[in-house]
Amino acid sequence: MIAKQKLKMRTSFVAFTMITLLFSGCKDSDKTENASTADIPVSREMTAELTSPPNVPTPVGRRKAKKLIVNMEVLEQEGTMTDGTTYVYWTFGGSVPGSFIRTRVGDEVEFTLSNHPDNKLPHNIDLHAVTGPGGGATSSFVAPGHEKKFNFKTLNPGLYVYHCATAPVGMHIANGMYGLILVEPKGGLPLVDKEYYLMQGDFYTKGEHGDPGLQSFDMQKAVDEDADYVVFNGKVGALTGDNAITAKVGETVRLYVGNGGPNLVSSFHVIGEIFDKVMVEGGSMINENVQTTLIPAGGAAIVEFKVDVPGTFIIVDHSIFRAFNKGALGMLKVEGEENKTIYSGVVQEGIYHPEGGGIQQMPEGEKKVKVASSNKTLAMKMESGKQIYTQTCFACHQAEGQGIPNAFPPLAKSDYLNANLNRSIEIVLKGKSGEITVNGEKYNSVMTRQAISNDEIADVLTYVYNSWGNNKTNVTKSQVDAVKRGH
Ligand code: CU
């Protein structure tokens, strides 16, 4: 018995030794690095530039380690979640995610957290870049109208999340209290042409997705991980339309991507691009040629890619209903010369006759430019509406609004459509299921709620009403707003 136990102990000791040996290589070099980064001297002091998303501060370049003054203010403030829906966000620096902090390894950060006197609650900050108890949380707990100061030295290069860690922690994070702090290596990260700051978060509201008015936090939904909104940069549409991030053909883009959670991990993907490099989990390991990278809640990643062709590249959480139904969708707009070798675009479009008819050419689509403004001419709305129709409605309702027999009703010469504008707006806003009769035919299918803004709904309906023999209604955003408010 004793011998057996001894043998068991010996086996596990051997296994332990082997594991220790296996890891000792990397562990030792980490330690050496830590030991040396802890000893990096600082010269002079400077005040950190803080930026709100999607912007990032100037790269550290070759600057020496410094005493870096960071002044962060907590603000509790109402903001827009989506068109017609507001939420009281708790923020670091007035934005969700909070201000981006850019440091280099060896910096001695003097961090001051100020809690605005108009705030209602105490807050603190846990920075994952901090080596120390609570990541600074225990030293930064601060009541409204007060401020707290603490110091830390950045030992490990990487991209780190920071967040509030005041009880109930989940609620503080769910209300938007997270952001990113970058610790660049000595000499800085390699320079790129464009850098942007994105951070995903999930939100839980008393009402359902899209319900209008001021929405409050729903603790039970948060516990159940039943998110109403999953978004980049704090709201639906923070990175779409006029808010899209941009680049030119030939440029290298670096995205600093965080995930605040509180609950959901992100399957981060850019449609139509391949990440040339991913700094996996924001650390030192580089993966190459990646389609989708997983970003844990409370984690980050740095992705880089060169943009080779123009177009709008859609940024998503590839848990795809989150993208198209809950808001986790952004855009990167790339301008520049086409490269038909890399991507040809449509080279031929025709009618397909399986029984053997000839190919009939379709008229070539005109190039569409998105115009977003409140004062649009009918022509501008038609152009924007056509683009939205092509992206969103075309698959079911078809190019000429003819619909698909027995499945999706026609929009061309539609008595149902022309009889009631508000009903049409409501269907686009809220979706529709159940039986309806259009031009004498019964349809019983499902149309989902469309993830487009009120402005876009006005444009696309204007396009539909002014095409294919419909009654030429010019639909305005305020009409859409009214229907949204009225239900
Ligand atoms: Cu807080």
And the tokens for 199? 């951070």
Mean of per-residue pLDDT scores for the chain? 89
- Is the model's pLDDT at 334 over the cut of 80? yes
User: Which of 335, 363, 395 marks a domain boundary?
Assistant: 335
- Is the model's pLDDT at 115 over the cut of 60? yes
Q: How far is the CA of 169 from the centre of ligand 1 (A)?
A: 7
Q: How far is the CA of 99 from the centre of ligand 1 (A)?
A: 15
The arithmetic mean of pLDDT across residues 381-405, rounded, is: 86
Q: How far is the CA of 172 from the centre of ligand 1 (A)?
A: 5
Q: How far is the CA of 90 from the centre of ligand 1 (A)?
A: 7
pLDDT at residue number 486: 84
- Is the model's pLDDT at 82 over the cut of 80? yes
Judgement on whether residues 196 and 102 belong to the same structural domain of the protein: yes
Judgement on whether residues 41 and 89 belong to the same structural domain of the protein: yes
Q: What is the DSSP string of 408-461?
A: B---TT-HHHHH-HHHHHHHHHH-EEEEEEETTEEEEEEEPPP---HHHHHHHH
Pick from 245, 250, 247: nearest CA to 339: 250
pLDDT at residue number 370: 46
Judgement on whether residues 322 and 455 belong to the same structural domain of the protein: no
- Domain extent, residue 451, equals 373-485
Q: Cβ contacts of residue 51 below 8 Å, gap of 6+?
A: 57, 99, 100, 197
pLDDT at residue number 350: 78
pLDDT at residue number 262: 98
Q: How far is the CA of 171 from the centre of ligand 1 (A)?
A: 8
Judgement on whether residues 249 and 381 belong to the same structural domain of the protein: no
Q: How far is the CA of 177 from the centre of ligand 1 (A)?
A: 6
What gap in Å lies between CA 30 and CA 108, rounded to an integer? 20
Answer yes or no: is 412 within a domain: yes
pLDDT digits (tens, 9 = 90+) for 347-375: 887 778 776 444 444 444 444 444 555 67
Answer yes or no: is 93 within a domain: yes
Q: How far is the CA of 240 from the centre of ligand 1 (A)?
A: 28
Q: How far is the CA of 458 from the centre of ligand 1 (A)?
A: 38
Q: How far is the CA of 162 from the centre of ligand 1 (A)?
A: 11
pLDDT at residue number 373: 53
Q: How far is the CA of 77 from the centre of ligand 1 (A)?
A: 13
- Is the model's pLDDT at 18 over the cut of 60? no
Answer yes or no: is 19 within a domain: no
* Three-state SS letters, 284-296: CCEEEEECEEEEC
Q: How far is the CA of 282 from the centre of ligand 1 (A)?
A: 24
Answer yes or no: is 148 within a domain: yes
pLDDT at residue number 183: 98
pLDDT at residue number 406: 76
pLDDT at residue number 408: 83
Judgement on whether residues 68 and 157 belong to the same structural domain of the protein: yes
Angle (CA) 387-391-397 rounded to 5° is 100
Q: How far is the CA of 166 from the centre of ligand 1 (A)?
A: 5
Q: Percentage of the chain surpassing pLDDT 70?
A: 89
- Is the model's pLDDT at 2 over the cut of 60? no
Q: How far is the CA of 322 from the centre of ligand 1 (A)?
A: 26
Answer yes or no: is 193 within a domain: yes
Judgement on whether residues 309 and 182 belong to the same structural domain of the protein: yes
Judgement on whether residues 391 and 331 belong to the same structural domain of the protein: no
pLDDT at residue number 167: 95
104, β-bridge pairs: 184
- Is the model's pLDDT at 137 over the cut of 70? yes
pLDDT at residue number 10: 46
pLDDT digits (tens, 9 = 90+) for 436-487: 999 999 888 778 777 788 999 999 999 999 999 999 999 999 999 999 888 5
Q: Cβ contacts of residue 254 below 8 Å, gap of 6+?
A: 189, 192, 194, 195, 196, 302, 303, 304
Q: How far is the CA of 195 from the centre of ligand 1 (A)?
A: 28
Q: How far is the CA of 429 from the centre of ligand 1 (A)?
A: 34
pLDDT at residue number 22: 41
Judgement on whether residues 130 and 212 belong to the same structural domain of the protein: yes
Question: What CATH number is given to the structural domain containing 235?
Answer: 2.60.40.420
Judgement on whether residues 328 and 379 belong to the same structural domain of the protein: no
Looking at the structure of the chain, the number of domains it has is 2
Q: How far is the CA of 269 from the centre of ligand 1 (A)?
A: 30
Judgement on whether residues 264 and 182 belong to the same structural domain of the protein: yes
Backbone angles phi, psi at 272, to 5 degrees: 90, 10
Pairing label, strands 85-92, 213-215: parallel
Answer yes or no: is 123 within a domain: yes
Q: Cβ contacts of residue 270 below 8 Å, gap of 6+?
A: 303, 305, 313, 314, 315, 316, 332
pLDDT at residue number 218: 97
Q: How far is the CA of 161 from the centre of ligand 1 (A)?
A: 15
Q: How far is the CA of 468 from the centre of ligand 1 (A)?
A: 54
The arithmetic mean of pLDDT across residues 179-204, rounded, is: 98
Judgement on whether residues 274 and 418 belong to the same structural domain of the protein: no
User: Which of 335, 355, 381 marks a domain boundary?
Assistant: 335
Question: What CATH number is given to the structural domain containing 380?
Answer: 1.10.760.10
Q: How confident is the model at residue 410 (pLDDT cuts 50, 70, 90)?
A: very high
pLDDT digits (tens, 9 = 90+) for 140-164: 999 999 999 999 999 999 999 999 9
Q: How far is the CA of 144 from the centre of ligand 1 (A)?
A: 11
pLDDT digits (tens, 9 = 90+) for 254-264: 999 999 999 99
Q: How far is the CA of 116 from the centre of ligand 1 (A)?
A: 12
Pick from 487, 486, 485, 463: nearest CA to 474: 463
Residue scoring higher pLDDT (242 or 395): 242
Judgement on whether residues 322 and 407 belong to the same structural domain of the protein: no
Q: Percentage of the chain surpassing pLDDT 90?
A: 76
Q: How far is the CA of 114 from the centre of ligand 1 (A)?
A: 12
Q: How far is the CA of 220 from the centre of ligand 1 (A)?
A: 19
DSSP 3-state of 485: helix
Answer yes or no: is 199 within a domain: yes
Q: Is 334:247 a contact under the CB 8 Å cutoff?
A: yes
- Is the model's pLDDT at 33 over the cut of 80? no
Q: How far is the CA of 211 from the centre of ligand 1 (A)?
A: 26
Q: How far is the CA of 76 from the centre of ligand 1 (A)?
A: 9
Answer yes or no: is 24 within a domain: no
